[in-house]
Amino acid sequence: MVRFGKRFAPPGSAPGTLSPPEIRRVQEVSVSVIEYGPDQLAEWRSADADEIAAKRAGLPVLWIDVVGLHDVELLRRLGEQFDLHPLALEDVLNTGQRPKMEPYENLIFVVMKLMHSSAGHLESEQISLFLGSGFVLTFQEIPGDVFEPVRQRIRTAQGRIRRMGPDYLTYALLDSLVDHCFPVLEDFGERLEDLGQEVVDDPDRETVGLIHAAKRDLLVLRRATWPQREVVSAFERYESPLVTKEIRIFLRDLYDHTVQVLDMVETYRDLVTGLLDIYLSSVSNRMNEVMKVLTVLASIFIPLTFLAGIYGMNFDPRASRWNMPELDWAYGYPAFWVVTVVIVLVMLLIFKKKKWI
């Protein structure tokens, strides 16, 4: 599983091999195989392509799911067994691919993105899928199986999956990937709600950092989900014996799901932009409140400063014919404070009446 912009190089990569310069590594490769028909089911695990070919029972649908991409030799042998194009195998290993659908002469190659929510951040995992005549191959980067519900449907023969061909299995797998976006989007929506409450109640510098982090995650989400609509649309329109007419109605429903995902992504995009505007407005309002308090205090002290300035001019009544009679008055000092307090109270009443405070 990789964040956008972060890729990894496999050890021991040599020129001329299938290994590209950028792949995601896991501890070990796990290969699960399911072969089924309407009344039969065979399931086993094997990391050997020749053993998989030897155990095939000739049932209508064969599904091989590979978890882990560092075993290049296994991928090469699977490519030989199922006639996979070398360029498609390189795209499997290069996990920075954009979601796409590429038709080849005897198969269809699909790349999708699986979104994960981890530690408050969104991450993407590349899922590669091959649809051929009688088989489906899927490649996952890491353990954590999003396809387990599909396996359970096959094992219990729920619905029509056991009666359908590999094209319906492909639809079911793609539907699982798209539907997995909805809980991720719900978690992201709850995160935006909490962030919005924080923006209104107590915005600070950390808040604006969280908003920008949400914008980055939303960009990751948009880059992963937007092309998937094109993939499903192209898969539905593609004329091939590998995709029957009966499956196209299911693909139209899958297309509707991708549109719903995109609608949610665009809604969250508007919300994040609105959160940034609310943050700037909240900070501006807080600054206005501070400036209002400081202005009120300064306005109160202006007349007081005027009075203190007059009585701080140090007139000597014995040396000047223009005396300040309050200097010789016994109650001059208390009278000064009475006038000062009255001025302050009158100004506060005026400010209160005008709703400035």
Contacts with 112 (C-beta within 8 Å, 6 or more apart), sequence order: 99, 126, 127, 128, 129, 174, 177, 228, 231
C-alpha 112/C-alpha 146 separation (Å) is 13
Name the DSSP letter for residue 31. Answer: E
Q: Tell me the CA distances in angstroms from 88 to 103, 108, 314, one per residue in order.
A: 10, 10, 96
Say if pTM beats, i.e. exceeds, 0.75: no
Look at residue 12 and tell me whether its pLDDT is greater than 70: no
Cβ atoms < 10 Å from Cβ of 339: 13
Q: What is the pLDDT of residue 353?
A: 82
- How close are the terminal C-alpha atoms of the chain, in Å? 55
What stretch(es) of the chain map to CATH 3.30.460.20? 30-282
C-alpha 357/C-alpha 353 separation (Å) is 9
The amino acid at 282 = S
The amino acid at 190 = E
Contact 238, 131 (CB under 8 A): no
What stretch(es) of the chain map to CATH 1.20.58.340? 289-353
Cβ atoms < 10 Å from Cβ of 320: 9
Q: Tens digit of pLDDT for each residue in 282-336?
A: 777 778 777 887 888 888 888 888 777 777 765 555 555 556 666 667 777 788 7
Look over the chain and give the mean of its residue pLDDT values, rounded to a whole number.
81
Nearest to 326 by CA among 306, 340, 310: 310
The amino acid at 229 = R
Q: Tens digit of pLDDT for each residue in 221-263?
A: 888 888 898 999 998 888 888 998 889 999 999 999 999 999 9
C-alpha 294/C-alpha 204 separation (Å) is 21
Indicate the fold that domain 289-353 takes in CATH. Answer: Methane Monooxygenase Hydroxylase; Chain G, domain 1 (1.20.58)
Look at residue 23 and tell me whether its pLDDT is greater than 50: no
C-alpha 357/C-alpha 355 separation (Å) is 5
From 3.30.460.20, 3.90.1150.180, 3.40.30.10, 3.10.20.30, which CATH number describes the 30-282 domain?
A: 3.30.460.20
| Structure-token pair, residue 139 | 């490649």
Q: Tens digit of pLDDT for each residue in 30-74?
A: 899 999 999 899 998 888 888 888 888 788 999 999 998 888 888
Contact 39, 54 (CB under 8 A): no
